[in-house]
Amino acid sequence: MKFNPDKLETTFIDPVTPYSPIKGRKYTLTHSDETAIMFLTIANEYDYSAINKDLRDELLGTWKTHDDSYGLFLYAYIGDSNYLSSLAKYGAFKYHMNLALQAIIYGDRELLKEYPELINSPIYIKFDSSIPIFDNYEFYGYIKNYII
Protein backbone atom coordinates (compact mmCIF):
# COMPACT_ATOMS: atom_id res chain seq x y z
CA MET A 1 0.00 0.00 0.00
CA LYS A 2 1.55 3.27 -1.15
CA PHE A 3 0.91 6.67 0.42
CA ASN A 4 -0.86 9.13 -1.87
CA PRO A 5 -0.66 12.78 -0.68
CA ASP A 6 -3.86 13.52 -2.64
CA LYS A 7 -5.71 11.19 -0.24
CA LEU A 8 -4.79 13.22 2.86
CA GLU A 9 -6.66 16.21 4.23
CA THR A 10 -4.78 18.06 6.97
CA THR A 11 -6.40 20.59 9.29
CA PHE A 12 -4.57 22.82 11.76
CA ILE A 13 -6.59 24.21 14.65
CA ASP A 14 -5.43 27.47 16.22
CA PRO A 15 -3.23 28.06 18.19
CA VAL A 16 -1.31 25.24 16.48
CA THR A 17 0.20 26.21 13.12
CA PRO A 18 2.17 24.24 10.54
CA TYR A 19 5.36 25.61 12.17
CA SER A 20 4.75 25.47 15.92
CA PRO A 21 4.53 24.57 18.73
CA ILE A 22 6.03 21.13 19.23
CA LYS A 23 5.03 20.86 22.88
CA GLY A 24 1.34 20.09 23.29
CA ARG A 25 0.88 19.28 19.59
CA LYS A 26 -1.74 16.54 19.18
CA TYR A 27 -2.46 14.40 16.12
CA THR A 28 -5.76 12.72 15.30
CA LEU A 29 -5.68 10.53 12.19
CA THR A 30 -8.91 9.03 10.89
CA HIS A 31 -10.05 7.80 7.48
CA SER A 32 -13.05 7.05 5.30
CA ASP A 33 -13.47 3.44 4.21
CA GLU A 34 -15.59 4.59 1.25
CA THR A 35 -13.18 7.15 -0.23
CA ALA A 36 -9.85 5.99 1.27
CA ILE A 37 -9.21 9.62 2.26
CA MET A 38 -7.31 10.12 5.49
CA PHE A 39 -8.08 13.05 7.75
CA LEU A 40 -5.34 14.48 9.95
CA THR A 41 -6.17 17.08 12.58
CA ILE A 42 -3.22 18.81 14.24
CA ALA A 43 -4.24 20.82 17.30
CA ASN A 44 -3.58 21.29 21.01
CA GLU A 45 -6.35 18.77 21.77
CA TYR A 46 -7.34 15.49 20.14
CA ASP A 47 -10.21 15.80 17.66
CA TYR A 48 -12.63 13.47 19.42
CA SER A 49 -15.47 14.64 17.16
CA ALA A 50 -13.71 12.95 14.20
CA ILE A 51 -13.55 9.54 15.91
CA ASN A 52 -16.01 6.85 14.90
CA LYS A 53 -17.12 5.53 18.30
CA ASP A 54 -18.13 2.17 16.80
CA LEU A 55 -14.96 1.43 14.82
CA ARG A 56 -12.34 3.11 17.03
CA ASP A 57 -9.70 2.78 14.31
CA GLU A 58 -8.14 6.20 14.78
CA LEU A 59 -4.52 6.91 15.60
CA LEU A 60 -3.75 9.56 18.23
CA GLY A 61 -0.33 11.04 18.90
CA THR A 62 1.77 13.66 20.60
CA TRP A 63 5.41 14.67 21.06
CA LYS A 64 7.03 13.85 24.40
CA THR A 65 10.46 14.81 25.67
CA HIS A 66 13.13 12.66 27.27
CA ASP A 67 16.68 13.82 27.98
CA ASP A 68 16.25 17.05 25.98
CA SER A 69 15.07 15.26 22.84
CA TYR A 70 11.65 14.50 21.40
CA GLY A 71 9.87 11.29 20.56
CA LEU A 72 6.56 10.82 18.78
CA PHE A 73 4.18 8.70 20.85
CA LEU A 74 1.04 7.31 19.24
CA TYR A 75 -1.95 5.46 20.60
CA ALA A 76 -4.03 2.75 18.91
CA TYR A 77 -7.13 1.39 20.64
CA ILE A 78 -7.53 -2.36 20.24
CA GLY A 79 -10.17 -2.61 22.96
CA ASP A 80 -11.60 -5.36 25.08
CA SER A 81 -13.13 -7.61 22.45
CA ASN A 82 -12.58 -11.33 22.32
CA TYR A 83 -9.24 -12.74 21.21
CA LEU A 84 -10.10 -13.20 17.51
CA SER A 85 -11.63 -9.72 17.15
CA SER A 86 -8.66 -8.19 18.92
CA LEU A 87 -6.25 -10.15 16.74
CA ALA A 88 -8.00 -8.87 13.61
CA LYS A 89 -7.97 -5.25 14.79
CA TYR A 90 -4.33 -5.46 15.92
CA GLY A 91 -3.41 -6.99 12.55
CA ALA A 92 -5.27 -4.26 10.67
CA PHE A 93 -3.45 -1.54 12.63
CA LYS A 94 -0.10 -3.17 11.97
CA TYR A 95 -0.88 -3.65 8.27
CA HIS A 96 -1.78 0.04 7.81
CA MET A 97 0.74 1.56 10.24
CA ASN A 98 3.40 2.39 7.65
CA LEU A 99 0.82 4.30 5.60
CA ALA A 100 -0.57 6.05 8.70
CA LEU A 101 2.89 7.16 9.83
CA GLN A 102 3.73 8.45 6.35
CA ALA A 103 0.46 10.43 6.41
CA ILE A 104 1.20 12.03 9.78
CA ILE A 105 4.78 12.88 8.84
CA TYR A 106 3.75 14.24 5.43
CA GLY A 107 0.86 16.21 6.91
CA ASP A 108 3.22 17.88 9.38
CA ARG A 109 6.19 18.29 7.02
CA GLU A 110 6.45 22.07 7.64
CA LEU A 111 7.16 21.41 11.32
CA LEU A 112 10.01 19.10 10.31
CA LYS A 113 11.45 21.80 8.06
CA GLU A 114 11.24 24.27 10.96
CA TYR A 115 12.81 21.79 13.42
CA PRO A 116 15.00 19.44 11.34
CA GLU A 117 16.36 17.77 14.49
CA LEU A 118 12.96 16.06 14.82
CA ILE A 119 13.70 13.76 11.88
CA ASN A 120 15.90 11.67 14.19
CA SER A 121 13.13 11.30 16.78
CA PRO A 122 11.93 7.80 17.66
CA ILE A 123 8.33 6.68 17.17
CA TYR A 124 6.55 4.52 19.73
CA ILE A 125 3.04 3.13 19.47
CA LYS A 126 0.96 2.11 22.46
CA PHE A 127 -1.50 -0.59 21.49
CA ASP A 128 -4.25 -0.58 24.11
CA SER A 129 -6.07 -3.85 24.75
CA SER A 130 -7.50 -5.83 27.65
CA ILE A 131 -5.80 -8.89 26.13
CA PRO A 132 -2.17 -8.81 27.34
CA ILE A 133 -0.54 -10.00 24.10
CA PHE A 134 -1.99 -6.97 22.25
CA ASP A 135 -1.43 -4.48 25.10
CA ASN A 136 2.07 -3.17 24.54
CA TYR A 137 4.41 -0.44 23.34
CA GLU A 138 6.19 -1.00 20.06
CA PHE A 139 9.11 0.87 18.58
CA TYR A 140 8.46 1.92 14.97
CA GLY A 141 11.78 3.40 13.97
CA TYR A 142 12.46 7.06 13.41
CA ILE A 143 10.67 9.97 11.77
CA LYS A 144 13.24 9.94 8.94
CA ASN A 145 12.07 6.42 7.98
CA TYR A 146 8.62 7.76 7.03
CA ILE A 147 9.47 10.96 5.15
CA ILE A 148 8.10 10.88 1.61
Q: What's residue 13's pLDDT?
A: 98
Mean pLDDT in residue range 21-34:
94
- How many domains does the chain contain in total? 1
pTM for this predicted structure: 0.94
26 pLDDT higher than 90: yes
The count of other CB atoms within 10 Å of the CB of residue 48 is 11
Asked whether 86 and 131 are in contact (CB, 8 A), the reply is yes
Q: What's residue 33's pLDDT?
A: 84
Domain limits at 83? 5-146
38-60 residue pLDDT tens: 999 999 999 999 988 777 889 99
106-148 residue pLDDT tens: 999 999 999 999 999 999 999 999 999 999 999 999 999 999 8
Asked whether 1 and 97 are in contact (CB, 8 A), the reply is no
56-105 residue pLDDT tens: 889 999 999 988 899 999 999 998 889 999 999 999 999 999 999 999 99
Give the burial string for 97-131 (b: 16+ CB within 10 Å, else e): bbbbbbbbbbbbeebbeeeeebeebebebebebeb
Q: What's residue 64's pLDDT?
A: 96
Whether the bond between 15 and the residue before it is cis, its omega within 30 degrees of 0, is yes
